[in-house]
Amino acid sequence: MKTAITEMCGIEHPIIQGGMHFVGFAELAAAVSNAGGLGTITGLTQRSAADLANEIARCKDMTDKPFAVNLTFLPTLNPPDYPAYVKAIIEGGVTVVETAGRNPAEVLPYLKDAGIKVIHKCTSVRHALKAQSIGCDAVSVDGFECGGHPGEDDIPNMILLPRAADELEIPFVSSGGQADGRSLVASLAMGAEGMNMGTRFIATVEAPVHQNVKDAIVAASELDTSLVMRPLRNTERVLNNAAVTRLLEKEKALGDKIKFEDIVDEVAGVYPRIMLEGEMDIGVWSCGMVAGLINDIPTCEELINRIMSEADTIINDRLARFQAA
Amino acid sequence: MKTAITEMCGIEHPIIQGGMHFVGFAELAAAVSNAGGLGTITGLTQRSAADLANEIARCKDMTDKPFAVNLTFLPTLNPPDYPAYVKAIIEGGVTVVETAGRNPAEVLPYLKDAGIKVIHKCTSVRHALKAQSIGCDAVSVDGFECGGHPGEDDIPNMILLPRAADELEIPFVSSGGQADGRSLVASLAMGAEGMNMGTRFIATVEAPVHQNVKDAIVAASELDTSLVMRPLRNTERVLNNAAVTRLLEKEKALGDKIKFEDIVDEVAGVYPRIMLEGEMDIGVWSCGMVAGLINDIPTCEELINRIMSEADTIINDRLARFQAA
């Protein structure tokens, strides 16, 4: 399939593996890129710019196809050394960067000067327009369904994608709720030029997370996620477990007086233990509603080939048949 | 276009106008059916079974095409005379009934014996499976985006439609977030055999509501709806206005102790005054997020023809072009 996104990124299929903390290592990124999609290394999962440079080099050893690096800008008292991370990305020869969080205006000139394509992740039309106005090449439009941070507007992709298509001039991919050939064709029909998948790629053979995490995603239905940290306006969609229940109860008890410090024990530092050590009960981790559509743990190549085959069948058989009649 | 739904309902295009209180009068239902969709008279907007019989007769004077009647089952101390309404539907020669609210098991045998096709509105896969198991012919799968009652699961159609497709054997239409040819093709791609539109049909020339209501929908963005009555687990998505703000503040102040009696003044009895008299500030009325995708007030025929033309272009031009490359 050829779309504005496949052309921009130099990839075969319009499928992007989005940045995910403690998941987006070189193994997964290379597997997705080797299968014809766009894999993504999560920049800040690497503790230093030197570690990121090393991870990029590891990925290049595993694939000669294009891959991306995710760079997330979150408000924090001790920000990472972003200029050094950007330098590692540029010197590593990375051709696509996925930015997320705050708008990437500060680093954009450096990335653009290096010929890097920048795809900014947005949960609203106004943020997407802002990204377009500062010079991003594309946006990833992230609906209410998504795992991780859906923003505070709660607009699902059935609305957000056509709204983005009405407003944007730059191309965009859908993100949130994307699992299969049905999602891909639906996204393309609503104006996207491709789709970004997160949770779906965690449940693959190559994802470097504990088997318990993959099994939990397969076991989960669409009803098994919750929104935490909503009272702080830093909402995150996570898979339900006992620790999530405790966190939600604490949020409710604290009411409007809640501060992040009050729940930091419940939230912080648990991702790596879940993702890498499989301790399912100790905390929260990002998971989209799309878990309800995930029923197996294929290789990235099997997954991507299946999606493209399903998309072909939907377009050539199902939709054509409706229309011919 | 020919789908399982067009065949079941005997209509030309896979587009249904869903039941809407104080909107679904004969004028709108006939206009939709005359344009090749399936119009729907809202049964309980008629104060008695005799009034419904009269409304059905009025609709038959305006169209010789099939149309539906909506019958909603809500918990109430003084239920309407459902058997009499069902009798009016059967004797009026109506061929399709849209049921909503509680499951329609009690009236289903009478409708089925009369050869009437029953489409039950559901906001979850488990309710859709229940509808299938009791013998409904189809379901209308209603996502979180929808105006009116989205249920309490908050699952948008990007997830709910493919989940329904995975589980159901009977055909289904998408409902919630449906506005145009993009929505239709996306819904068909995700497994639906047609789409149901509510809010979009309110902003048409023929909708028998005050012009102020139509203008407000055109002016609204996707960010201009709120969920009210959530603490009562009887959530309704409504267009924001000053009365909605007051209601939400009252809900918050009452907290867990809220009872319907506490907010009845804010909620009850305002629909007809809004819909028929255009008093925009006095209360709530159902409106989907899809308001953000509605920018004009066409006739039903213009709307339906445009949707089908857009769908053709998306399938034959956009999707085929991606795929050929």
What token pair was written down for B258? 């809220």
CB contact under 8 A, B188 and A319: yes
**A289 inside 8 A of chain B by CB:** yes
The 10s digit of each residue's pLDDT in B12-54 is: 999 999 999 999 999 999 999 999 999 999 999 999 999 999 9
Q: What is the mean pLDDT of chain B?
A: 94
Which sign does the torsion angle of CA B68, B69, B71, B72 carry?
Answer: positive
**A177 inside 8 A of chain B by CB:** yes
Residue B276, judged by CB atoms within 10 A of its CB (0-12, 13-18, 19+), counts as middle
Distance CA A276, CA A102 (A): 27
User: Would you kindly state where each structural domain of chain A is located, as residue ranges?
Assistant: 4-208, 211-289
Q: For residue B78, what pLDDT band results from cuts at 50, 70 and 90?
A: confident
For the segment(s) A4-208, the CATH number from 3.40.50.970, 3.40.50.170, 3.20.20.70, 3.90.1150.170 is: 3.20.20.70
CB contact under 8 A, B189 and A190: no
The 10s digit of each residue's pLDDT in B194-251 is: 999 999 999 999 999 999 999 999 999 999 999 999 999 999 999 998 888 888 999 9
**B320 inside 8 A of chain A by CB:** yes
Q: Is the pLDDT of residue B163 over 70?
A: yes
CB contact under 8 A, B177 and A159: yes
CB contact under 8 A, A292 and B322: no
The whole-number pLDDT of residue A205 equals: 98
Contacts of A144 in chain B (CB under 8 A): 144, 156
Residue pair B121/B139 in contact (Cβ under 8 Å)? The answer is yes
CB contact under 8 A, A222 and B155: yes
For the entire predicted model, the pTM comes to 0.97
Distance CA A53, CA A88 (A): 5
Interface of A with B in 134-153 (CB under 8 A): 143-145, 153
**ipTM exceeding 0.95, yes/no:** yes
CB contact under 8 A, B190 and A186: yes
What token pair was written down for B167? 């589980």
Contacts of B249 in chain A (CB under 8 A): none
**A190 inside 8 A of chain B by CB:** yes
* Mutate which: B1, B2, B126, B158, vs A, most A CBs within 10 A: B158
CB contact under 8 A, B186 and A186: yes
**B322 inside 8 A of chain A by CB:** yes
CB contact under 8 A, A186 and B189: yes
Residue ranges of chain A with per-residue pLDDT less than 70: 269, 325
Three-state SS sequence of chain B: CCCHHHHHHCCCCCEEECCCCCCCCHHHHHHHHHCCCEEEEEHHHCCCHHHHHHHHHHHHHHCCCCEEEEEEECCCCCCCCHHHHHHHHHHCCCCEEEEEECCCCCCHHHHHHCCCEEEEEECCHHHHHHHHHHCCCEEEEECCCCCECCCCCCCCHHHHHHHHHHHCCCCEEEECCCCCHHHHHHHHHCCCCCEEECHHHHCCCCCCCCHHHHHHHHHCCCCCEEEECHHHCCCEEEECCHHHHHHHHHHHHHHHHCCHHHHHHHHCCCHHHHHHHCCCCCCCCECCHHHHHCCCCCCHHHHHHHHHHHHHHHHHHHHHHHHHC
The beta-carbon neighbor of B190 closest among A182, A316, A322 is A182
Q: Considering only alpha carbons, which residue of chain A is nearest residue B14? A: A322
Q: Beta-strand (E) ranges in A162-289?
A: 172-175, 195-197, 225-228, 236-239
Q: How far is A134 from chain B (nearest CA, A)?
A: 24
The whole-number pLDDT of residue B269 equals: 67
The whole-number pLDDT of residue A136 equals: 98
What is the number of other CB atoms lying within 10 angstroms of the CB of residue B230? Answer: 15
Distance CA A88, CA A90 (A): 6
The 10s digit of each residue's pLDDT in B89-128 is: 999 999 999 999 988 999 999 999 999 999 999 999 999 9
The 10s digit of each residue's pLDDT in B265-290 is: 777 767 778 888 888 877 778 999 99
**B293 inside 8 A of chain A by CB:** yes
The beta-carbon neighbor of B222 closest among A3, A163, A323 is A163
The whole-number pLDDT of residue B261 equals: 86
What is the number of other CB atoms lying within 10 angstroms of the CB of residue A38? Answer: 31
CB contact under 8 A, A290 and B159: yes
Contacts of B318 in chain A (CB under 8 A): 188-189
The whole-number pLDDT of residue A55 equals: 98
Which are the contacts of A66, defined by CB distance < 8 A and separation ≥ 6? A9, A10, A11, A33, A38, A95, A96
